[in-house]
Structure 1
Amino acid sequence: MSSSNDTSRPAVFATTQWTRVLAARGESPDARAALSELCEAYYRPVLAFIRSWTGDDDRARDLTHDFFSRLLGGKGVAGVDPQRGRFRSFLLGAAKHFLADVRDRELAARRGGQHEHVPLKPETDTSPGNDPLDPQTPRFEMEFDRQWALTILDRVLKALASEHEQAGKSRQFEVLKGWLTGDVEGRSQAAAAALLGMHEGAVKVAIHRLRRQFRELVKREIAQTLDDPAQVADELRYLLSILA
């Protein structure tokens, strides 16, 4: 995590810091800002998880909106302990509980409840052997984690792009970022040098520096979601394994 006097880089994924999450319990301007940023930062992983469960894009978006409204409405994070666990795990657990509640309410409605009774038929999704999808299913969790990893990488790439823009090196970043993402499309470093009007040796140095900056930013963003900095290496290995 950057020091307090490091102003050269914009805050990335800052909404996942435990202190901001705890602040989200209140009604102060900072708390409201934290809630808004939190929804933006973690919208995609939660949407992917819920979409895996519903199999329907429109319904998934509606449920994701409802999930964040409930989670961030006041008491959703009231019991969070910033000294325990990963925020990623907390958010996934909250999404599981939310979907389990949705499933239970829908089952109750179909079986009588306070809604219009819908008789069971062989083709309905409440027939034996065809129950609604279980939000505990591991493949849904894997999709959440994959989107979490992609979101971190996307946020870090945007931070690096912003840094290069401020330094007047946007063109250089656009040409060289493929060496971060693996999307070089057969382009050689010599070809990149020609595009940028640089010596090939200078391009090699620039790529090395860019990779180092990228690694450090990824570690910093991961650290913001943990209670113990010693866990960063494990989280980074897990992130890489998810994307492998």
Structure 2
Amino acid sequence: MSSPSHRIDRFATTRWSVFTRTAATAPGEARVALAELVQRYWYPVYAYTRRSGHAPAIAEDIAHSFIGSLTRDFRDHRAALERGQFRLYLLERLEAFLGRDWREPIDAHNDDAAVPAELEARYLRDFADSETTTPAQAYERGFALEVVARALRGLRAEVQRGGHLAMYDALEPFLACEPAPGELDAAAQALSSRPLALLVALKRLRELAGEELVDTVTSHEQLRAEQAILHTVLTRKSQPP
């Protein structure tokens, strides 16, 4: 079991901890930490704007402008910072941005934020049957799915080195809930693998998802809260409509 001092060290160096600690005193350092985080989480921002009714090109422009403005001007974000986790901060700043006249910044932005590929393809796949989903719900789901996607990419890189690339695709449904009796056996049989190998890979996938969340919080309590939210969103996603 990790000692209390290990936990403190672990959370003291996350990107979100660095940003919250330096936002008012070392803006250069804070900007780097925040930029690294927001570049990872384009997708929930895009999902929110698309679910708000904007066409794909406009939604992408809004997301681009918002992310650029976020890293340029964060000194007045004290209220949002007090919300705690990065997920809540990002949503609050996005809603504040959309509450202003965002059309002028879209025309004027000239930042270097790289637009992730296939945002619209992901959105259509993930929200095809979500007519009643609100923008905020789309954001929460998009955030959870991005955590999963990043964990899966990490697992894919690991299993690719071991020659088991097909394994990672079979594990996503089991991230939020335990496999039903026989499910893991069936998946292992389809992959010509052993159930134990999939169980080990699933454990590693959950560890990678946890590691991704760690960078968005400042404490063990916040991490537990984020893990609970992730579980809730993914469980809801896996249930039939």
Class of the TM-score when normalised by the shorter of the 2 chains = 0.5 to 0.7
Change (3 A) 1:36 1:206: same
**Structure 1 contact 84–227 (Cα < 8 Å) conserved:** no
Q: Does 1:76 align with 2:74?
A: yes
Q: How far does the alpha carbon of each residue in 1:131-185 deviate from its partner, in whole angstroms, 9 at most, with x for none?
A: xxxxxxx92111100000000001001111111223x233363475366469x9x
- Whichever of the two has the greater Rg, that structure is 1
Equivalence map 1:187-202=2 (5 Å): 189=185, 192-193=188-189, 195-196=191-192, 198=193
Identity of aligned residues (%): 26
Pairwise CA distance, 1:18: 2.8
Equivalence map 1:61-210=2 (5 Å): 61-73=60-72, 75-76=73-74, 79=77, 85-102=84-101, 139-166=134-161, 168-171=162-165, 173-174=167-168, 176-177=170-171, 180=174, 189=185, 192-193=188-189, 195-196=191-192, 198=193, 203-210=194-201
Structure 1 or 2: more helix by fraction? 2
Aligned residue identity for 2:134: R
Change (3 A) 1:140 1:188: closer
Q: How many residues are aligned here?
A: 190
Aligned residue identity for 1:146: R
Give 3-state SS (helix, strand or coil) of 1:208's partner.
Answer: helix
| Residue aligning to 1:60 | 59
**Structure 1 contact 22–78 (Cα < 8 Å) conserved:** no
Q: TM-score, normalised by structure 1?
A: 0.62
Pairwise CA distance, 1:240: 2.0
Equivalence map 1:6-17=2 (5 Å): 17=16
Pairwise CA distance, 1:63: 1.0
Instruction: List alignment gaps of at least 5 residues for structure 2.
Output: 3-12, 105-132, 237-241
Instruction: List alignment gaps of at least 5 residues for structure 1.
Output: 3-13, 106-137
Q: How far does the alpha carbon of each residue in 1:35-84 deviate from its partner, in whole angstroms, 9 at most, with x for none?
A: 553343110001111222243211111111111111111x2256458786
Change (3 A) 1:84 1:52: closer
| Residue aligning to 1:132 | none
**Structure 2 contact 31–71 (Cα < 8 Å) conserved:** no
Q: CA RMSD of the aligned region, Å?
A: 3.8
